[in-house]
Amino acid sequence: MQNQQEDKVKIYAMGGVGEIGNNMTVIEINEDIFIIDAGMMHPKDEMFGVDTVIPDITHLEQKRDRIKAIFLTHAHSEHIGGIPYLIKKIKAPIYGTTLTLAFLEQMLREMKSNKKVKTYTIDPDKEVWIGSNRVSFFRTNHSIPDSVGLAFHTSQGAIVHTGDFKFDYTPVDGVKFDLSKLTRIGDEGVLCLLSDSKNAELPGHTPSESTVGERIEDVFYFAEGRVITALYASNLHRIQQVVNAAVQTKRKVALDNRYLERLVGIATKLGYLHVPKHTFISLDKIDKRPDREIAIISTGPEGDPMSPLIKIANHSHKKLQPKDTDIFIYASSASPGDEKDVTKAIDSLMRIGVQVVYGKDVHVSGHASEEDLKLMLELVRPKYLIPIHGEFRMLKVHMDIAASTGLPLHHVFLLDKGDVVEFTKGEARETEKVPAGQVLVDGLGVGDVGNIVLRDRRLLAEDGTLIVVVTLGRRSKAILSGPEIITRGFVYVRESEELIEDANQIVTEVLSKALNEKVSEWSSLKNGIRDALGRYLYDKTKRRPMILPIIMEI
Amino acid sequence: MQNQQEDKVKIYAMGGVGEIGNNMTVIEINEDIFIIDAGMMHPKDEMFGVDTVIPDITHLEQKRDRIKAIFLTHAHSEHIGGIPYLIKKIKAPIYGTTLTLAFLEQMLREMKSNKKVKTYTIDPDKEVWIGSNRVSFFRTNHSIPDSVGLAFHTSQGAIVHTGDFKFDYTPVDGVKFDLSKLTRIGDEGVLCLLSDSKNAELPGHTPSESTVGERIEDVFYFAEGRVITALYASNLHRIQQVVNAAVQTKRKVALDNRYLERLVGIATKLGYLHVPKHTFISLDKIDKRPDREIAIISTGPEGDPMSPLIKIANHSHKKLQPKDTDIFIYASSASPGDEKDVTKAIDSLMRIGVQVVYGKDVHVSGHASEEDLKLMLELVRPKYLIPIHGEFRMLKVHMDIAASTGLPLHHVFLLDKGDVVEFTKGEARETEKVPAGQVLVDGLGVGDVGNIVLRDRRLLAEDGTLIVVVTLGRRSKAILSGPEIITRGFVYVRESEELIEDANQIVTEVLSKALNEKVSEWSSLKNGIRDALGRYLYDKTKRRPMILPIIMEI
């Protein structure tokens, strides 16, 4: 029997450990490689001008032929946003549930991706065999419908990956976490659990999504004007609850933008959203009805709740001007780094008299808290735990939680991107480290914005630039034209004429001296200009613009 | 009797309402004007390269001769950081308590301010008369010692300004909030209370500073290696508690930088800090003792706790390398907008094994919470309330709190900067609006960085710049040199040679065509270059660098 030979198992993360987003886990079973999720991440502040960050998959490209499948746990961009880039390099079938694949296809259409991908729909109640590998699934709860976890059944035991999850005993769509299936997988013996850590720092149990619906309903009953709800477009559970509240209070619902309309359209068609006929109206038509019959669901061009909040607060939303009779529900939490902008916008709305409802009453997380993580460990009873999906801090707290339930500390692996855990005879150890990291995407450029470009953008952002151009005669060694000085982002030129004139004078002096001394090395001349000007400008302004001397030769 | 004539009273804020920082309140009594605090604010993210933000005092400059005094409630930079700029324009004596004036003088020395200012030390137990105006003071509790509130006694009743405050019944320095004095002022009849709103959104009572000391002591007893505490340099109460914990656990204390050393020196000399002899050692000498005998107090060059956290976490602190036996206490909260950087740094420290203690156990606020605000209202019993020191949201919550205690809503004024409240016969109404706003300071430039400069910095930060230079013959209308293309922050040039060559080609074509057509209007030629290049570059890269065509004429 071939099963007598032990499966060789390796696990590593290409992203999603030590960071939020960029989720990508790799499982190698013998010669076969499986990728679970391929996410993206929003750029950090210091990544000036970068649009998206994705995992560096150079290592996987080298193993391209061994990759048998890509599994998607759910349709959030932190889990599928890397797919358009991945499929340019790696050809493997993609497995996802109905909604996940539908949203993936919509994303690929929007990005005008012309790659053909083979997809298979996951039925969570059925297993799939890929080569000699058996993979089973279990339904989870999360802030998007149709999310799953999965299990790879190896001869050393199962490898269980939770995806993002919470336990919601009163889910909005009635689709419950398949605890029974998960328990059965646990009964069969689990070698290693990879489990969501994003909310490990929160005590207790993450509340049900339906608690948000109750509060939204209260607001709708109470509101005498329009109710505008800003939320993540992918949170269909919450959209359903807003729709329900609107229907109950006899309001029509207008959707803020095309992106939202398309997602809602897909979800409705597939049966993930239930909207009575004639509920939706066009945003252009809301003024034709009394305000108290209007509800608006708002989201940004990429489905985020922050951009409509800011646009409406700044009166820069094309179709929606705030009124002092409006109630604005910010049904989301501010992501780290966004708090300032969110509170500023809420402030502006309140100033014009809009009632703003925000905070934990109208938002619950889609991720498991401390007690939920303990329940997960209890049901799965893994021999080893690899905390995933979180900053290092969160992974560490998850480790401590596991230890408190009795898992030995050395059975928990806190991984950095690329760290490989290898399993032999049911024992795990960290063996090697494969190359891993992140790739910055700016416009069409994938990975071409590196440290030098970012450093220059940072310098330019700080004090702007000052450009000095001069035309010199190659033979005459005389100044034929210039020096001309152009600045951007340094000083307001009309108020700084004297400064610019003095700068001009300094350049002319440096040039004349150099030309008299027959300097012919332009680079040293440029350095001379840069030094003299830099000193002068810093002395006068305490600023350090990027100085770019350009010498034209004739 | 001259008192039979009613005092004319006006109140307005030049800053600190609708924003955190920039605090500056103005009280006009008849012809006399009093300024309370002159703060600064840290620039927001979108203010690229700006160092400091201060209130626009153009309006006060016009009334310069009527300004009789500047009162400082305490020494935080949000309250005194605007003084160096204010005293360049306005000559008036400054009143502050001993520590406040000492810190102010230190700040002026550091900024090399050569303005002479006349200062008067406030003794909170004594009143002062300025002209025919009587001003009295009351001691408060805050996150810096020697803070006061003040009362202007007018014929219409007192105007009470709380400064920043909390009620601490177990203050570290034993100096209690003078509740009895405040009550007496209340008994005499208060026309209007201006009260700190920063923590209005927090329920309950702000805990005593000494609760932090208890937790710090626990950590010190438990620690087997060094203990590094990052805190605000001005929080002398907390420094005292760290010193106490160090002395009790037989540790020497090293101070991180000169700035901290100077503040601690001043505070010790004036008796605000009590440090046993031989407690301090130089940071250079900490390696000569066992780690468990070392405590380090850390702060940034401007006294903030975040920069040492980040420097130590990134191994870029010149004198302090983290060890896996260290315990790091982050005895501060992350300011809005800083959460990302703070959590990232904590993450990095934990990765290398440093134990990090952070959160509400080792930090309490210096501002009054909801129940404290109610107590303030109860003791002062004002006829009118003007919530100050907070974003609009916080001012509004403060209003609701006041209403819950029985103050009529129309007796609360939510002010925007410059809104004037005028009092006649004990009745208040908003009358006019004086010019008010904010001034950006960048290096030596005060107010010269405006929208155009900031817009350019933002554009440069996004996609960098591309400069095209060409030398044309004035008469020959021929290209004599160039086009030469230089980019910064756009693409990595070595990997984009083809792109740059094509761009060069496009410029040459536009030029040749224009020269053939005898175009002599350089500005339209520049626009032509900008358009053609912009289209091409966006098409190829989906980026929009700032394109700067420069034409040199010979």
Q: Edge-to-edge, what's the strand order for the sheet holding B190-196? A: B128-130, B133-139, B148-154, B157-161, B190-196, B382-388
Instruction: Report the sign of the C-alpha dihedral through residues A100, A105, A109, A111, in that order.
Output: positive
Checking if the pLDDT of B1 tops 70, the result is: no
**CA distance to partner chain A, nearest, from residue B454 (Å):** 6
**CA distance to partner chain A, nearest, from residue B297 (Å):** 24
Percent of chain A with pLDDT over 90: 71
Quote the pTM value. Answer: 0.83
Q: Region B124-139: what's the mean pLDDT?
A: 96
Which of B333, B444, B456, B537 should be substituted to probe chain A, the one whose Cβ sees the most A Cβ atoms within 10 Å? B456
Cross-chain residue pair A393–B346, CB shorter than 8 Å: yes
CA–CA dist B234, B522 (Å, integer): 57
Cross-chain residue pair A339–B344, CB shorter than 8 Å: no
pLDDT at residue B355, as a whole number: 93
Instruction: Report the sign of the C-alpha dihedral through residues B393, B398, B403, B405, in that order.
Output: positive
CA–CA dist B145, B74 (Å, integer): 8
Residues B80, B23: contact at Cβ < 8 Å? no
Chain A residues with CB under 8 Å of B495 CB are: 448
Checking if the pLDDT of B304 tops 80, the result is: yes
CB atoms within 10 A of CB A77: 20
CA B12 to chain centre: 20
Tokens of A389: 């999906």
Catalytically annotated residue among B326, B367, B372, B419: B367
Nearest to B456 among A340, A392, A489 (CB): A489
Chain B residues with CB under 8 Å of A396 CB are: 350
Q: Region A474-501: what's the mean pLDDT?
A: 83
Residues A387, A398: contact at Cβ < 8 Å? yes
Backbone φ and ψ of A446, nearest 5°:
-105, 105
Work out the angle between the directed axes of helices B236-248 and B258-269 (0-180°, nearest 10).
Answer: 90
Checking if the pLDDT of B251 tops 50, the result is: yes
Residues B296, B230: contact at Cβ < 8 Å? no
Confidence class for position A497, pLDDT limits 50, 70, 90: confident
3-class secondary structure for B485-522? EEEECCCCHHHCHHHHHHHHHHHHHHHHHHHHCCCCCH
CA–CA dist A18, A417 (Å, integer): 8
Catalytically annotated residue among A42, A153, A367, A398: A367
Pairing of strands A479-488, A9-15: unpaired
**CA distance to partner chain A, nearest, from residue B546 (Å):** 9
Is B205 annotated to bind a ligand? Reply is no
Tell me how far apart the 2 most distant CA atoms of chain B are, in Å.
Answer: 90
Catalytically annotated residue among A7, A37, A196, A304: A196
Is B372 annotated to bind a ligand? Reply is no
Q: Edge-to-edge, what's the strand order for the sheet holding B327-330? A: B280-281, B252-255, B294-298, B227-230, B327-330, B355-357
- Residue-wise pLDDT tens digits, A119-132: 999 999 999 999 99
Backbone φ and ψ of B52, nearest 5°:
-150, 150
CA–CA dist B425, B418 (Å, integer): 23
Catalytically annotated residue among B7, B196, B256, B419: B196
- Residue-wise pLDDT tens digits, A214-261: 999 999 999 999 999 999 999 999 999 999 999 999 999 999 988 999
Domains contained in chain A, CATH given: 9-204+365-446 (3.60.15.10), 210-358 (3.40.50.10710), 464-553 (3.10.20.580)
CA–CA dist B206, A464 (Å, integer): 44
Residue type for A260, please? L
Cross-chain residue pair A552–B469, CB shorter than 8 Å: yes
Percent of chain B with pLDDT over 90: 71
pLDDT at residue B512, as a whole number: 85
Cross-chain residue pair B456–A445, CB shorter than 8 Å: no
3-class secondary structure for B364-412? CCCCCCHHHHHHHHHHHCEEEEEEECECHHHHHHHHHHHHHCCCCHHHE
Nearest CA in chain A to B393: A347
Chain A residues with CB under 8 Å of B552 CB are: 469-471, 481-482, 484, 552
Is B274 annotated to bind a ligand? Reply is no
Q: Region B533-554: what's the mean pLDDT?
A: 89
Mark whether A187 is an active-site residue: no
Residues A241, A216: contact at Cβ < 8 Å? yes
B1 or B53, which is more confident: B53
pLDDT at residue B498, as a whole number: 86
Which of A471, A476, A537 should be substituted to probe chain B, the one whose Cβ sees the most B Cβ atoms within 10 Å? A471
Residues B500, B485: contact at Cβ < 8 Å? yes
Query: CA triplet B492, B496, B498: central angle to 5 degrees?
Result: 165
Tokens of A542: 């305490």
Checking if the pLDDT of A520 tops 80, the result is: no
Chain B residues with CB under 8 Å of A478 CB are: none
Nearest CA in chain B to A357: B393
Q: How many CB pairs under 8 A join A and B?
A: 201
Tokens of A343: 């509170």
Cross-chain residue pair A453–B351, CB shorter than 8 Å: no
Query: What residues have CB less than 8 Å from B361, skipping those under 6 apart?
Result: B212, B215
Pairing of strands A24-29, A32-36: antiparallel
Radius of gyration of chain A (CA): 29
CB atoms within 10 A of CB A463: 26
CA–CA dist B95, B12 (Å, integer): 20
Mark whether B196 is an active-site residue: yes
Provide the CB-side half-sphere exposure for B255 (13 A, CA). 19
